[in-house]
Amino acid sequence: MNRNGAPDLRVFDELDALTLHAAEAAAAIIDECVQRQGGCALALSGGNTPRPLYALLASRFRDRIPWAQVHVFWGDERFVPATDANSNYRMATATLLDHVPCPTQNIHPMPTHAKSPEAAARDYEQTLRDYSGGDWPSLDLNILGLGADGHTASLFPGSPALDEQVGWVAAVQAPADPPSRLTLTLPALVRASHIHVLVTGTAKAQALRDVLSGTADPRIHPAAGLLAASGELIWWVDRDAAGLL
């Protein structure tokens, strides 16, 4: 939010310009975190929108980021093998992590090999607790997307996980393919120091308008729950997605 309480909305005519500015901002945040606190906890989103951003972080901005001090987490994951085409971990590895010197021990995928989604959620919460050491995850930069139905991460409209106020990670059944998913909960997502939401395309225009209306119910438009963010919240939006604002 800006100081006047308005959403920090950054609209770009071209996807390339949006991606470049978002990558520049992400690289600066990561570097500042490492300089200030010796490390940076970066949470990645799945979907298609962040691919160009990840590709820029792995190329033009690769050498501006102290990857050895970066820890990589995920905001959500499909409960599929890491080799599955639907895996967010697989997408991030192919577009980013295979191309940067981030130590393997710093990469923390959601454990989709666990015996159940519920067990995976519990295990990942412990992973986050082991890293954060506090009452909530201490993510520094949380990169998220927006679905045409207003979902973010794998928090979909009407999901019981939207009522979770204590747990950090939930196993959910999503109205999407594949349905079985793991997701950070809203209280876990909103405590990141920086939340950057990438939204492109006309298909997202109504959802973005609803989410930013100021009156949206997160149980119906889950991404509206991000407006409770305690840190920086930036909406990186192209002209098409901003078309109804």
Distance between CA atoms of residues 45 and 22, nearest Å: 14
DSSP 8: E
The yes or no reply on residue 185 touching ligand 6PG (CB under 6 A) is: no
Hey, which residues does 196 pair with through a beta bridge? 143, 234
8, two tokens: 């920090």
Residue type, 232: E
Q: Which of 95, 106, 127, 152 binds ligand 6PG (CB under 6 A)?
A: 152
Distance between CA atoms of residues 164 and 115, nearest Å: 23
Q: How far is the CB of 103 from ligand 6PG (least distance, A)?
A: 24
Given the complex with ligand 6PG, which of 117 and 145 has the nearer CB atom? 145
Residue count, binding to ligand 6PG (CB under 6 A): 14
Given the complex with ligand 6PG, which of 67 and 79 has the nearer CB atom? 79
Q: Of the listed pieces 5-13, 44-52, 100-108, 130-138, which binds ligand 6PG according to CB under 6 A?
A: 44-52
DSSP 73: E
Q: Which of 46, 109, 111, 218 binds ligand 6PG (CB under 6 A)?
A: 46
Distance between CA atoms of residues 117 and 18, nearest Å: 35
Residues 6+ apart with CB under 8 A from 138: 41, 131, 132, 191
Q: Which of residues 68-127 bind ligand 6PG (CB under 6 A)?
A: 76, 88
Q: Which of 47, 187, 231, 243 binds ligand 6PG (CB under 6 A)?
A: 47
Given the complex with ligand 6PG, which of 45 and 185 has the nearer CB atom? 45
Residue written as token pair 């770009």: 12
Q: Which of 45, 112, 127, 193 binds ligand 6PG (CB under 6 A)?
A: 45
**Residue 124 · residue 182 · CB < 8 Å:** yes
Given the complex with ligand 6PG, which of 7 and 222 has the nearer CB atom? 222
Contacts with ligand 6PG, residue ranges (CB under 6 A)? 45-49, 76, 88, 145-147, 151-154
